[in-house]
Structure 1
């Protein structure tokens, strides 16, 4: 502390000495200060003018006119801004009246097992065992949406399939008896008609232009709760039927996290503009935030064909197939019970050919590895299914396969898919 004080005193003395040495008379100081101030101001003004002359753009940016309004960047977006808090209510108000509840019922007969008819068995149970088939009525509820003001409605095939009676309930409470114009179990699309006019209708969008992340609004009647609205986003597009767990269907589904429950089936999936982009149809049991819808483009195509013909013919080959990989190849070749030996690591392996199927008649065999159809590479089983579905019954498909290391071209004429089952 003593050292610091002594150093400070010494520095103060040196500073005082320096300030007194050569000091000018007191009257000269104001003139000196004024000269220095004028000189500094001149330098500052000159420098500012030089900078402005050399960089006029920067000057204009740095000092905008007081009257100019601040500019905001133009952002183009298809989705409503978060501040638009009422767009969902607007969509529901617009589309809700065109969404209907469908109550379907059918009579089911329960046959008496043969063992109950045995006289020895009846000695013990007597008349407590019925001898005649027992009938019971099974009812179910689904949703649908009106696409024509004269009463045409789209819904799921499983909602009305086999129904004896179909009742259609509008949002305003009116009830009509519906007539099923046609069902297509392969795509799960059905068309119902009611005798009414001047009905509210939905506006149809384009499911081909959908992108993940867009808004998704579902309206339907889940679990008997009419006119229920749920909201989410488009989680994915192009989900194959095998991914969804319904390999017998011929649909590439829209995936959404908007809540879909039993009773939502057949109801519309809407975009932020209130356009129908899909038909809600499926959920995965036990999963949360996973719902699936049939793209509206596909549903409309099927409904048009149902209206024109009452049914839809889907071409099929009659094969069971699996996508090859190095791991699958090794697994098959290690299996002592396998009747196949696989040399390829890429392609679509035909595991089984159905008897008397178009594939069998055309010469395809189990163990063939499909590479191309009509000259186009097929990367997975879904691509094979799409190529077959895009063909016509009775047309010719050129199927390029590898068999025993040799490349072969096999001509196959797809047949109409059996109504009792779906396949490829």
Structure 2
């Protein structure tokens, strides 16, 4: 309201341009507060200017059949982030996975038809490609550099409104969503209170250095709009899956062949309820009743943590793990294979 009444801006207010007091009269303490606010404002603006050229708007055409078998066309919107300068873009699988047509709008307003390179329903990551060169790829950080409480900036096209920027913090790490529709659970998600709405899906969640921490994916909301609880797929998983899709046309989900159960012991770790015959876990020497305490040098305390670690590796990797068995800790090595389309029950 003040900026309208006095025909000035909040920035001018911070600089003291309409104050009746001089800077010296305001006092050094008050001036330092204004300077800090101004610096923070400038920092957020710099992040937006750095990242927005890499953020795209995605419009999709969806064709579905109604209960009478008649085909109905609809449209959807989402966001994406430039991964490679030659047209590869990361987004959500739920945005483009079933699209009959995809149109990408760059930050400069140019539009391109896009093709689906591949998508993965398990991690909700997809890669699309447009016929363009010289795009500005985003910079990515790693989960090890992400801390609870740090600034989180969401960019994208909520409700189709391109170039939108909202800010919050990383509220929590390692959030897990149970399996839906035959997929594996979504694990290790970043939780943020940065405003995320329909249309933000597939867009980046970045830190104060403009590095992508995660790909926005879902929100918890009774109304369908932002309620301050949004989730992003960690950049490590997103990039790893994107690389696989570009190389193989699909995501190759690593698999070892165990059924995890409830751990009622005092030993912290993942209890193995059953080992699938003929698969890597059995070949490595794991057995029912073992407790996996470390995987790849990292402690794991529940099935979600173990799954998150498995997803950070690739098919063909050989991983060292530590198990607890009959009062002793044993070191073993397991080879990761691609998850079969149908997991054997035995």
- The verdict on a shared fold, with TM-score over 0.5 as the criterion, is yes
Structure with the bigger percentage of helix: 1
Asked if residue 90 in structure 1 is aligned to residue 73 in structure 2, the reply is no
Alignment partner of 2:245 out of 298, 306, 312: 306
Asked if residue 290 in structure 1 is aligned to residue 229 in structure 2, the reply is yes
Alignment partner of 2:302 out of 366, 380, 404: 380
Q: 1:197 to 1:317 in 2, by over 3 A?
A: closer
| Contact in 2 for aligned 1:373/1:387 (Cα 8 Å) | no
Unaligned ranges ≥5, structure 1: 1-71, 73-79, 113-129, 326-343
Secondary structure (helix, strand or coil) at the match of 1:223 reads: helix
Q: Aligned partners of 1:205, 1:396: CA distance in 2, in Å?
A: 23
| Contact in 2 for aligned 1:146/1:201 (Cα 8 Å) | yes
**Which residues in structure 2 correspond to 1:5-404 (within 5 Å)?**
81-84=36-39, 85-109=41-65, 133-242=69-178, 248-249=184-185, 251-286=187-222, 288-325=227-264, 344-346=265-267, 347-351=269-273, 368-372=289-293, 378-386=300-308, 388-389=310-311, 390=313, 392-393=315-316, 400=323, 402=325
Tell me the CA shift for residue 419 of structure 1. 4.8
Secondary structure (helix, strand or coil) at the match of 1:92 reads: helix
Q: Aligned partners of 2:187, 2:271: CA distance in 1, in Å?
A: 22
How many residues are paired up?
302
Cα offsets for 1:243-276 (capped at 9, x unmatched): 99x9824642222110112211110112222222
| Contact in 2 for aligned 1:108/1:135 (Cα 8 Å) | yes
Secondary structure (helix, strand or coil) at the match of 2:83 reads: strand
Q: Aligned partners of 2:211, 2:183: CA distance in 1, in Å?
A: 28
Unaligned ranges ≥5, structure 2: 1-28, 30-34
Cα offsets for 1:188-217 (capped at 9, x unmatched): 222211112333443334443122222111
| Contact in 2 for aligned 1:399/1:412 (Cα 8 Å) | no
TM-score (norm 1): 0.59
What RMSD over aligned residues (CA atoms) do the two structures have, in Å?
A: 3.8
TM-score (norm 2): 0.71
Q: Aligned partners of 1:360, 1:285: CA distance in 2, in Å?
A: 42
Structure with the bigger percentage of strand: 2
Cα offsets for 1:65-104 (capped at 9, x unmatched): xxxxxxx9xxxxxxx9433223222322332232111112
**Structure with greater Cα Rg:** 1
